[in-house]
Structure 1
Amino acid sequence: MITVTIGGECLMIDTPTRRVVLGAGVFAAGSLFAIDSSVAQAPLAPTPACQDGDEVTLRQTEGPYFKPSSPERVELLEAGMAGQPIELVGFVLTRACKPIAGALLDFWQADDKGRYDNSGFRLRGHQFTDAEGRYRLRSIVPGLYPGRTRHIHVKVQPRDGSVLTTQLYFPGESKNRADGLFRKELLVRTAKNEGLLAGRFDFVVG
């Protein structure tokens, strides 16, 4: 069970057999996953229901810019960094909709100009899901570069499990249809309020 606060009312929610809607304080108050109060006024649409035997999240190429040994951190957003701030949250789940604690997530992306840092680790970092299978990433919406729509790369690996490599996309982007790698199943659910973009995506791994 997890405790969430919605509209000032504390509720108990079972560890998700459905993917939980991100809304007002959807994660436990004071936890790693509490988001800015401004976002609480703009709840997100629910992600698709997770059902026993659900298909795993689609795999995609890692591309040419992956670098191993990124720093462990949830904050890729740095002071003075240009771009639209985003807080991306969600769960890592089994095909039976059970949360996976301690799963590794390694994120990397372009900056607001569509450039990757290949000499250092700017906008690169890894983290582990908490005891409830949750992750949180604070970053910026990546910029465009020729041939690609906006996307964030990620590798997800449960303990002693195989690696899922994929990419996350953003709704409403004009370049989505022209990008041969784009898949609607990998769209992040988003809501924006007071300058911060809130995002939600749950990974299902085999």
Structure 2
Amino acid sequence: MAGMPLRLGGRVLDPACRPLAGVLVDLWQADAEGRYDNDGFRLRGHVVTDAEGRWAFDTVRPGLYPGRTRHLHVKLQPAGGRVLTTQLYFPGEPGNARDGIFDARLLMAVGGNDDEMLARFDFVLAEG
């Protein structure tokens, strides 16, 4: 798939910083050109956290589209718990300041090199 490879991951923890296993992490995003696949399943997927609360995806950096900054959509659902729906953002994006939905608390830690972008975000889920 065209675009900058993005390796994204992190952990899901409870408020006492204990890992949460078995949390469904669902990700969807635009492609490198800013287009969503509304007819199929490209750039959509899910994983379940392991015993250490770890989750990870290999994807591409999403493109921009009018009115929004660069972002990823995420849903998390612990077994038997409520669904958290949110978005993750890239630091340093010019569109962050103009995007009415942007929340700086949801900035990922981003690094990498010219060949691959690495991003991390740890979620803390309250009970219930």
Aligned match of 2:118 in 198, 201, 204?
Answer: 198
- After superposition, where does 1:44-193 map in structure 2 within 5 Å? 81-193=1-113
Uncovered stretches (5+) of structure 1, i.e. residues with no partner: 1-80
Aligned pair count reads: 126
Letter in 1 for 2:112: K
Question: Which protein has greater RCO, CA pairs closer than 8 Å, 6+ apart?
Answer: 2
Superposed displacement of residue 193, structure 1? 2.0
**What TM-score does the superposition give when structure 1 sets the normalisation length?**
0.60
Distance in 1 of aligned mates of 2:61 and 2:123: 19
Percent identity of paired positions between Structure 1 and Structure 2? 60
Distance in 2 of aligned mates of 1:151 and 1:194: 20
Letter in 2 for 1:165: T
- 1:51 aligns to what? none
Letter in 1 for 2:40: G
Uncovered stretches (5+) of structure 2, i.e. residues with no partner: none
Structure with max Cα Rg: 1
Superposed displacement of residue 194, structure 1? 4.5
Superposed displacement of residue 85, structure 1? 0.7
Give the RMSD, CA atoms, in angstroms.
0.8
Distance in 2 of aligned mates of 1:155 and 1:194: 29
